[in-house]
Amino acid sequence: MLTPEALPLAREVEAFSQFLKIEKQLSERTLDAYRRDLRKLQEYAHTRNLQSLDTINHQEIRLLLAQQHRSGNGGKTLARWLSALRSFFRFAIKRGWLEANPADGLQAPKSPKKLPKTLDVDQAGQFVQLDGDDFISLRDGAMVELMYSSGLRLAELVSTNVQDIDLTGASIRVTGKGNKQRELPVGRFAVAAVKRYLGVRELHANATEPALFVSQRGNRISHRSVQARLEQISLRQGMGQPVHPHMLRHSFASHMLESSSDLRLVQELLGHANISTTQVYTHLDFQHLAKVYDSAHPRAQRRRQDDDTE
């Protein structure tokens, strides 16, 4: 396997990485994503013996795009990849290495819209009812109750500090995408679960740690740890499928829409900048209504019975 330094365009990719790190001040996680996307270009250039930027033209990028699509990459993945390439080529043009952007005009194929998986109300209730009074059980119980109660993103849950939650006022202040803050209500079950957890948190948290949820080492719990804990809870609660943090958020949104039919309210609670992002839950709501219709409407029942006898 070739090292990054041995691949074509190594100098240009490294210069671009330094630009993103120093001038754009992107996080290491985002930088890694750019490097992975550009490595695909470098490996393709190696197989095609394209050793310089000026040999990579529009047709080569089109061929690589088709190749990745055939290998199973979806529309969103390919759109992100094309975006990374366009940024890299724009950087190359500013440096005088290229005259035109070979990725311009290319579009990723559209992926079929997948509806997010959700738990129904009974399943959600089953999942969040955790037993145990030890530190881990109380912490996990507070986490899942809070995620489901307020529709939090994983990053919002992990970044929450003790001072951000007001148990008396039953509210929480979170920082969402784009560093936008919003205040959310917290349900009574979540309030009770957090109160129980706070009773043991101080015995485990480091003295200067502001995070609401901490690991056994006393530091802020990581994203991966929360995901792993939810996977284990899924098994213990007999869910029959792994429940991930975003599934609780989807379930929160779906259940709120089923009860209120207020799309703007759900948009506000979820922190969506565009209501079109929230509208996916109207499809979930329709699925719920269709299921109720099929089980309740006499003509729907007759149709199903007739179908069974054919």
Fill in the amino acid letter for 260.
S
246 is catalytic: yes
210: helix, coil or strand?
A: coil
* Close Cβ partners of 283 (under 8 Å, ≥ 6 residues apart): 115
Determine whether 182 is exposed, middle or buried from the number of CB atoms within 10 Å of its CB (0-12, 13-18, 19+). middle
Catalytic residue among 39, 86, 90, 272: 272
Burial 38-70 (b: 16+ CB within 10 A, else e): bebbbebbeeeebeebeebeeebbeebbeebee
Separation of alpha carbons 237 and 264, rounded Å: 33
Catalytic residue among 153, 196, 204, 229: 153
Residue with tokens 């691949």: 7
| Token digits of residue 196 | 């129980």
Fill in the amino acid letter for 150.
S
177 is catalytic: yes
224 is catalytic: no
Catalytic residue among 46, 244, 246, 288: 246
Q: Tell me whether strands 171-175 and 165-166 are parallel, antiparallel or unpaired.
A: antiparallel
281 is catalytic: yes
244 is catalytic: no
Catalytic residue among 11, 36, 76, 177: 177
Catalytic residue among 220, 249, 250, 255: 249
CA neighbor of 182 nearest in space, from 278, 266, 275: 266
Q: H/E element holding 80?
A: helix 75-94
Catalytic residue IDs:
153, 177, 246, 249, 272, 281
